[in-house]
A and B are shown apart, each in its own frame.
Chain A
Amino acid sequence: MRETNRVRAMPDAPLLSAESLTKFYGPRLGCADVSFDLHEGEVLAVVGESGSGKSTLLSLLSTELAPSRGAVRYRMRDGSVRDLNALTEAERRFLLRTDWGFVRQDAREGLRMGVSAGANVGERLMAVGDRHYGRIRATALDWLGRVEIEAARIDDTPQSFSGGMRQRLQIARNLVTRPRLVFMDEPTSGLDVSVQARLLDLIRGLVAELGLAVVIVTHDLAVARLLSHRIMVMRQGRVIETGLTDQVLDDPREAYTQLLVSSVLAA
């Protein structure tokens, strides 16, 4: 038993592993042959233009889509490594509700717009089995504070929130269950620049503090530079370049990456 635990605790075992992930939508290619490992505490940015396959990849990783070919393996909390497409529905729900977070570009897809901010956060706790109302509310309050939402807004619905507040609420809702892996799909786009900056600070702080593994899809190279350790550049469904974030951005190798990097306006 002890021996097994030691092997399982090996820091070099990846948390998430994509192996030749490929998705066709009928004859059209979504993404092809994407392979990578992600470890705890690592932030991977997937960059590329719209249509590059980055959103398809995120859907494959988070089991929203089934791959046409390839596999995603994930190290569960008990240390066992599972093929995500072979999970039972109950196991899949456990991951989605507890061990994973998914921060969406459009907060309306990631939140329940008709229920209060407190309920949006508390709901995920109830999904893990917490039934104590006072405790749930206290935890929800704590998390609202951490994402800088006033306690007085706990009973308001996100309908009345600004775009930045909705994103922060979405983050609280996702992180309250202490997930190990968080997917983020363009979490800051569509927000005013100043709101975006505050949100990035918040995400950066929480990711480091909680040691989260993150796969973030973004078309914004500045966001990738600020948040990620590694970058994967996608084009036409394929990964064309990958490496340390500062290496890919400061010394891009591929023609397309050089074009992307040179197209960014320096502020």
Chain B
Amino acid sequence: MTTASPLLTLETVSRTFTLHLRGGLRLPVVSGVSFSVLPGECVVLGGPSGAGKSSILKMVYGNYRCDGGRILLRDGAETVDVARAEPRRILRLRRDVMGYVSQFLRVIPRVPALDIVTEAARETGVAAEEARRRAERLLALLNVPERLWSLPPATFSGGEQQRVNIARGLAAERPVLLLDEPTASLDARNRAVVVDLVAEKKAQGVAVLGIFHDEDVRDAVADRIVDVTRFAGARAA
């Protein structure tokens, strides 16, 4: 009974963008996307930029719509199809089941960095004190200078903002973690920190689905690479 079942399964997922402002131009991005991610496993989406890696991640998170196929996410005993779930259900999945970290910090303006990360930890029900300890640990590990913690990140450098964003994305405990190039433009020292933190998540049984352009990071975290170019079938037309 040691064979775990996947936390996330994509079945023949497809997506075409229609650009109405470009005369209804249709851009088939991906079709027939099928793979799954087990607990404690890190699956990395591979392929050149423009292949649809990020679109796949965004569909899983419910940020982009999905035209066809199923995106099955396990929420406790229940399995939910993100592609068809009600907005409220998706919000609950985001609160309880899946986290998303991009390379861009998009937060409520005017909230101090430490509060941003603490609040993120609290979203999954971590008690206030513990959430704060976790936030401090992550910010320290990611080399965000302590003098910045009480300031809103709007004025931070790009790299500092990005590291606050990673701390925020990793602060909560959710069974599924989506990483959209979180290490892009980080220096080697901080990339290594992220690699360690991802390994920590995997050890806790988190299913990780990510995009990493740095080969060293990818090799360090990936259990499996799914080549997205093979899902570009509809593109030929």
A residues adjacent to B (C-beta < 8 A)? 39, 42, 197, 201, 204, 226, 229-230, 243-244, 246-247, 250-251, 253-255, 258-259, 262
Determine how close the nearest CB of chain B comes to the CB of A126; give it in whole angstroms.
35
Q: Per DSSP, are chain B's interface residues mostly helix, strand or loop, or mixed?
A: mixed
Of B19, B20, B21, the most chain A CB neighbours within 10 A belong to: B20
Which residues of chain B (60-80) have a CB below 8 Å from chain A?
62-65
Q: Per DSSP, are chain A's interface residues mostly helix, strand or loop, or mixed?
A: helix
Q: Could you jot down 10 A-B contacts, CB within 8 Å?
A: A42-B88, A201-B110, A226-B108, A230-B87, A244-B63, A246-B63, A251-B58, A251-B65, A253-B65, A259-B20
Determine how close the nearest CB of chain A comes to the CB of B108; give it in whole angstroms.
7
Do A244 and B62 touch across chains, with their CB atoms under 8 A apart?
yes
Do A197 and B109 touch across chains, with their CB atoms under 8 A apart?
yes
Query: Taking CB as reference atom, which chain B residue is nearest A44?
Result: B87
CA of A201 to CA of B111 in the docked complex: distance in angstroms?
9
Chain B residues closer than 8 Å to A201, beta-carbon distance = 108, 110
A-B CB proximity, top 10 nearest: A255-B20, A251-B64, A244-B87, A258-B20, A230-B87, A246-B63, A258-B21, A251-B65, A250-B63, A247-B63
Q: Does B198 contact A (CB under 8 A)?
A: no
CA of A243 to CA of B66 in the docked complex: distance in angstroms?
13
Chain B residues closer than 8 Å to A258, beta-carbon distance = 19-21
Chain B residues closer than 8 Å to A204, beta-carbon distance = 108
B residues adjacent to A (C-beta < 8 A)? 18-21, 58, 62-65, 87-88, 90-91, 108-110
Do B91 and A229 touch across chains, with their CB atoms under 8 A apart?
yes
Query: Taking CB as reference atom, which chain B residue is nearest A254?
Result: B20
Chain B residues closer than 8 Å to A254, beta-carbon distance = 20
CA of A246 to CA of B63 in the docked complex: distance in angstroms?
6
CA of A250 to CA of B90 in the docked complex: distance in angstroms?
16
Set A39, A246, A247, A259: member contacting B21, Cβ < 8 A: A259
Determine how close the nearest CB of chain B comes to the CB of A264; give it in whole angstroms.
13
Chain A residues closer than 8 Å to B63, beta-carbon distance = 244, 246-247, 250-251
Given A253-B65, A254-B20, CB of A244 within 8 Å of CB of B108: no
Do A247 and B64 touch across chains, with their CB atoms under 8 A apart?
yes
CA of A42 to CA of B65 in the docked complex: distance in angstroms?
21
Query: Taking CB as reference atom, which chain A residue is nearest B91?
Result: A229
Query: Taking CB as reference atom, which chain B residue is nearest A263?
Result: B21
Chain B residues closer than 8 Å to A229, beta-carbon distance = 87-88, 91
Chain B residues closer than 8 Å to A197, beta-carbon distance = 109-110
Do A244 and B21 touch across chains, with their CB atoms under 8 A apart?
no
Chain A residues closer than 8 Å to B64, beta-carbon distance = 247, 250-251
Determine how close the nearest CB of chain B comes to the CB of A49; give it in whole angstroms.
17
CA of A250 to CA of B102 in the docked complex: distance in angstroms?
14
